[in-house]
Amino acid sequence: MVIVVGKWKEKLIRVAALIVVVVLFAAALPTVAGVFYEKVPVFSGWMQDEHPTGNPMRVEQPQDVPGTEFSDRVDQFVIKLQNFYLQEQE
């Protein structure tokens, strides 16, 4: 079986040009990211290894800030719910 491809030179040139464009784009992307490394915060996190330190379960205490009315009401609601469930279990 013989397959005859018409205009094979033109098709080969188009495929080669497409491959060149893809290779240039792949080479230019890291270069552009390197240029914007200091200027755009989104790119700055790509190139560094992140090793978090400290206890991830640590909860910071508020610094002597008086509670707002909303937080006081939420606290009262939580206490009432706890009492309700404790009374229900007895």
**Tens digit of each residue's pLDDT (9 = 90 or more) over 4-57:** 677 888 888 999 999 999 999 988 888 877 776 666 555 555 556 666 666 767
Q: Are the CB atoms for 66 and 74 separated by under 8 Å?
A: no
28, 36 contact by CB (below 8 A): no
Give the pLDDT score at 25.
92
State the maximum Cα–Cα separation within the chain, in Å, rounded to a whole number: 89
Distance of CA 74 to the CA centre of its chain: 32
Cβ-proximal residues to 34 (8 Å cutoff; 6+ apart), any chain: 47
Give the residue extent of every domain in the chain.
Answer: 1-48
